[in-house]
Amino acid sequence: MAAAVLVPFAAVAPAQPAAAQARTLTVATDGSDSGPGTVAAPLRTIQRAVDLAGPGTVIRIRGGTYDPDVNIRIEKSGTPSQPITMRAYDGEHVAIDGENMPNTPAPSGESYPRVERGAIHVSGDWWRFEGLEIVNGPYGIFAIESSNNVYKDLVTRDNYETGLHLVLDSSDNRVINLDSHGNRDPRKNGESADGLAIKQGAGSGNVVTGARLWNNADDGFDSWDFLTPIRVEDSVAWGNGFDRWGFPGWEGDGNGFKLGRGTADHVVNNSIAFDNAVGGFIDNGNPGSLRLENNTAWANGGSGFVFDRSASTLNRNLSVADGAGVDLGSSGGSGNSWDLRDGWSNADLVSTSASDIKGPRAADGSIPATDFLRPRGHAGLGADLGEDDGGGGPAPVRHEAEHAPATCDGAIDADHPGYSGSGFCNTDNATGVAARFTVDADSPVTAALVIGYANGGSGGRPAEAVVNGSTTGPIPFAATGAWEVWATTTITVRLDPGGNTVRLVATGSDGLPNIDYLELSPGEA
């Protein structure tokens, strides 16, 4: 706790218990759980703050190491308009160390109760976790049947299972700028400790952006038996699957991005897998129609791309210096390095130095901008984490019209191909009908909102944007020529910190066009 807020003990009035559902609660290593949870008289344990929190509460954790004897359990939920936030206090370094918890590690070959998994165990919805480091836990974060959560600017390292693990029915979760490394599983000899796993469940709208996943026992990213599409973008996985701990009977798989087993049409864009023990990007027996665009595999022990058991589409991907050639089976695509020519080598790359991509993140939390593995003379090929693409700036956040918390005054349909996600909003034909989205902002910002739509009618379908109850301007929604022809239009709005309600409201009697998504691209503040 900062010295500026300390006063002589004799002058301090008896502390009062913190009020339930206080808007802000502060935790510090020298606090007291009988205190009010203010900056001057903080709580001592994170669990006490969780117990007192309600919708809209912000839990601010002062710098230091917190080493509880049992895991932190989050079993309550915020709301769409009032999520609960747990974050480091004003950029201070916060470490949650699980070494004193049970099952660190669990005995070899044995299981243990799910509620004991994770230094932070999450079974609630509508939470935001920001700026925390979680180490030495029985899993770092273990989230089970939890949705609409944001995991941002986290470090999960050296845990005794996967760093960040989402399991069972889980939807509309966002993982942003995660660093997850050195996670291992002595009880399974490396078989299941990944950097990030979204496994054994279903749920739409899960998105991973800007993750770095390295030196984990099993894989960088694993979507084993998750049966709904996951979107991964602008992420990097390296050094996974090597036995760095001397385990007997090593069983680590060693892939950068493992995208199976169950049927799901996962999407991976603008990501890099390098120096993994076995594969770069693999379908792992997923028979679905995956889509991979502008990814790069380099110097992996096996193949850079293995999609021989799926019907996937691969476009503009790059494979160089991997231990084996690509293995596509019946999967197809175009513009990939293997479509262009044979014989790619390191001499075809601008840089093979990984120092930038492994270095400190940018001030906004993004992966450092770099020319690492960019091909010479092929601007549109492979992943690009340079200044203008990928790293170096905030990534767009897409909100699908068919996924909660979005709502539609009409029906979610899927009868006109070409849309993003699993459907689109088809409103009733009436004035005043709307498609509603909730858009998060960390601070006041002027932002560009890109709207995907199709208008197969003979003329425009006028509408207006209403943000937090205030009309911001008209949207013409010009005709696109057919309902299968999708287009975008962009509006500029002012967003407040927290959740913002954005409504697209029809001002004509034909209602809105079909609305596919709303995508946030941060602009000038």
pLDDT in tens, 268-316: 999 999 999 999 999 999 999 999 999 999 999 999 999 999 999 999 9
356: phi then psi, degrees, rounded to nearest 5: -70, -45
Q: What is the DSSP pairing of strand 174-176 with strand 487-495? A: unpaired
Residue 83: CA atoms inside 13 Å, Cβ hemisphere, count? 27
CA angle 280–286–288, rounded 5-degree value: 115
Taking the CA atoms of residue 51, residue 52, residue 55 and residue 60 in that order, the dihedral angle to the nearest 10 degrees is: -100
Residue 198's pLDDT band, with cuts at 50, 70 and 90, is very high
DSSP string, 317-351: -EEES-SB--B-TT-EEES-HHHH-S---GGGBSB
Per cent of the chain over pLDDT 90 is 80
pTM over 0.95: no
Residue 127 has pLDDT above 90, yes or no: yes
What pLDDT score does 468 carry?
87
Which pLDDT score, from 0 to 100, does residue 462 have?
Answer: 95
Active site amino acids: 258
Q: What is the pLDDT of residue 187?
A: 94
DSSP of 365-424: SPPPP--BTPBTT-TTSS---STTSSTTSPPPEEEETTSTT-EESEEEE--SSS-STT-E
pLDDT at 279: 98
| CA atoms of 39 and 31, how far apart (whole Å) | 9
Residue range 321-339, pLDDT digits in tens: 999 999 999 999 999 999 9
Residue entry with tokens 């049970």: 102
Is the pLDDT at 395 greater than 70? The verdict is no
The predicted structure's pLDDT at residue 319? 98
CA distance 70 to 77: 21
Q: H helices of 473-521, where?
A: none
Alpha helices (runs of H) in 211-361, residue ranges in sequence order? 337-340
CB 143 within 8 A of CB 163: no
Other CB atoms within 10 Å distance of the CB of residue 365? 16
Question: Using 50, 70 and 90 to split pLDDT, how confident is the model at 86?
Answer: very high
- Tens digits of per-residue pLDDT, 52-78? 999 999 999 999 999 999 999 999 999
* 7 pLDDT more than 90: no
pLDDT score recorded for residue 448:
86
Q: Check pLDDT > 60 for residue 15.
A: no
pLDDT (tens digit per residue) in 199-224: 999 999 899 999 999 999 999 999 99
- Which pLDDT belongs to residue 388? 53
pLDDT-derived band of residue 392, with 50, 70 and 90 as boundaries? very low
- Confidence bin at 389 (pLDDT 50/70/90): very low
For the chain, the average pLDDT equals: 91
> Strand locations in 174-279, DSSP E?
174-176, 179-181, 196-199, 206-209, 212-214, 221-222, 230-233, 236-238, 257-258, 267-269, 272-274
pLDDT above 70 coverage of the chain, percent: 93
Bigger pLDDT: 525 or 274? 274
Nearest one of 110, 153, 158, 160 to 132, comparing CA atoms: 153
Looking at residue 100, its pLDDT comes to 97
Rounded Cα–Cα distance for residues 316 and 293 (Å): 6
Lowest-pLDDT range of 385-394, 491-500, 503-512: 385-394
Q: What domains does the chain contain, in order, with CATH numbers? A: 397-522 (2.60.120.260)
> What is the Cα–Cα distance from 298 to 348, expressed in whole angstroms?
12
Please indicate whether residue 60 or residue 520 has the higher confidence score (pLDDT). Answer: 60
Q: Give whichever of 388-392, 442-446, 503-507 has the largest mean pLDDT.
A: 503-507
Task: Give the span between the Cα atoms of 177 and 316, in whole angstroms.
Answer: 24
CB-based contact 135:158 (threshold 8 Å):
yes
Indicate the pLDDT class of residue 404, thresholds 50, 70 and 90. Answer: confident
Q: Return the pLDDT at 364.
A: 87
For residue 27, pLDDT over 70 is answered with yes
pLDDT at 5: 32
Contact 95, 63 (CB under 8 A): no
Cα Rg, the chain, nearest whole Å: 24
214-262 tens-digit pLDDT: 999 999 999 999 999 999 999 999 999 999 999 999 999 999 999 998 9
Phi, psi of 11 (to 5 degrees): -90, -5
